[in-house]
Amino acid sequence: MRYATKGLGLSAALAAAFLAGTAATATAAPAEPDGLYAPSNLVLTIGEGEGPSPATVQRSAVLSCSPTSDGSHPEPGKACAELRSVDGDIASLVDTDNDGVCPMIWDPVVVTAEGVWEGRKVSYAHTFPNACVMENSTGALFSF
Give the pTM. 0.69
Average of per-residue pLDDT across 89-105: 83
Q: Convert the pLDDT of each residue in 4-25 to its tens digit.
A: 444 444 444 444 444 444 444 4
Q: Which of 44, 19, 53, 22 is nearest to 143 (CA)?
A: 44
Side-chain half-sphere CA neighbours of 25 within 13 A = 6
Using CA atoms, how far apart are residues 128 and 106, in angstroms rounded to an integer?
9
Q: Convert the pLDDT of each residue in 100-115 to its tens digit.
A: 789 989 999 999 999 9
B/e letters for 2-25, b = 16+ CB within 10 Å, e = fewer, are eeeeeeeeeeeeeeeeeeeeeeee
Using CA atoms, how far apart are residues 126 and 140, in angstroms rounded to an integer?
16
**In this structure, what DSSP letter does residue 96 have?**
T
Q: What's the pLDDT at 15?
A: 43
